[in-house]
């Protein structure tokens, strides 16, 4: 019997000395048609077609052993791949109580001769990750006070927004500026007093604090904070 294997596009399992383990059967690869539209002088559509495809790829990873600093191996703007090259554009790191942490890493296809050494990259803040099934908060993006108010879930997302140069629908060049780190918090209130939530130094609240769907008799609060991270040119 043949079993499906997972290709670690980003090489993170090797770079982490097997602290990260690629999950699932095969990579989730999506081909996105690039629509081409022709219009007349009045702006009316006269023809439609496609001009190539964009390809997106995602790997999911389980965390096998503690990692002192995930940012030492996870670099936004990195380029990996052999026959087809992919630009690392986003990651999502989720911590929930009573569940193991999970890392998802996504990217888009770029030109076949692309190399990370030729382009900018975004350096992330230190990200210490443990295997414990708890709501870890390695970036400490908020301050929280209130009796019976506890963080139950943390999702850290880092992203860049690349600009792809695609004459005739084929990527020939790409670039991007800086990036952002977003942290979403879910807080459960088991006492009568609502939590006091503020952004930590260097962070900005972009959503909330607001009440979400209650869990049983307990109120739930959601808040999102964001920090900009600069891109760096290659040496």
Burial class (CB in 10 A: 0-12, 13-18, 19+), 64: middle
198-231, pLDDT tens digit by residue?
999 999 999 989 988 887 778 999 999 999 887 7
Structure tokens at 156: 């850290």
Confirm if 222 and 209 have CB atoms less than 8 A apart. yes
Burial class (CB in 10 A: 0-12, 13-18, 19+), 1: exposed
Residues in the chain where the model's pLDDT stays below 70? 1-6, 24-55, 82-83, 111-120, 163-175, 232-235
Distance CA 112, CA 83 (A): 7
- Show me where the domains of the chain are located: 12-29+54-232
* φ/ψ of residue 135, rounded to 5: -85, 80
**Pick from 178, 181, 170, 230: which is nearest to 203 by CA?**
181
pLDDT of residue 205: 96
Residue 100's contacts (CB-CB under 8 Å, 6 or more residues apart) are 62, 63, 131, 133
Distance CA 71, CA 220 (A): 30
Distance CA 57, CA 90 (A): 11
H or E stretch covering 14: helix 12-15
136-154, pLDDT tens digit by residue?
999 999 999 999 999 999 9
Alpha-carbon radius of gyration of the chain: 21
Residue-wise burial string across 212-234, b where 16 or more C-beta atoms lie within 10 A, e elsewhere: eeeeeeebbbbbbbbbebebeee
pLDDT of residue 11: 85
Residue 175's contacts (CB-CB under 8 Å, 6 or more residues apart) are 119, 120, 162, 163
Neighbours of 115 (CB within 10 A): 11
pLDDT of residue 161: 78
**Pick from 133, 129, 131: which is nearest to 99 by CA?**
133
């Amino acid at each position: 019997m043949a079993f499906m294997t997972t290709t670690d596009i980003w090489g993170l399992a090797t770079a982490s000395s097997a602290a990260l383990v690629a999950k699932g059967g095969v990579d989730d690869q999506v081909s996105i048609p690039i629509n081409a539209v022709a219009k007349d002088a009045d702006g009316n559509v006269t023809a439609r077609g496609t001009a190539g495809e964009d390809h997106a790829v995602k790997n999911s990873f389980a965390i096998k052993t503690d990692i002192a600093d995930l940012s030492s191996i996870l670099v936004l703007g990195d380029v990996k791949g052999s026959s087809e090259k992919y630009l690392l554009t986003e990651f999502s790191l989720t911590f929930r109580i009573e569940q193991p942490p999970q890392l998802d890493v996504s990217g888009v296809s770029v030109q076949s001769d692309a190399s990370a050494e030729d382009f900018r990259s975004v350096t992330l803040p230190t990200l210490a990750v443990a295997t414990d099934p708890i709501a870890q908060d390695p970036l400490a993006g908020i301050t929280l006070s209130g009796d019976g108010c506890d963080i139950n879930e943390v999702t850290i997302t880092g992203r860049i927004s690349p600009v792809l140069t695609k004459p005739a629908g084929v990527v020939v060049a790409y670039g991007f500026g800086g990036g952002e780190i977003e942290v979403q918090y879910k807080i459960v209130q088991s006492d009568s007093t609502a939590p006091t939530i503020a952004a930590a130094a260097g962070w900005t609240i972009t959503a909330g604090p607001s009440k979400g769907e209650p869990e049983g008799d307990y109120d739930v609060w959601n808040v999102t904070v964001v920090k900009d991270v600069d891109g760096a040119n290659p040496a």
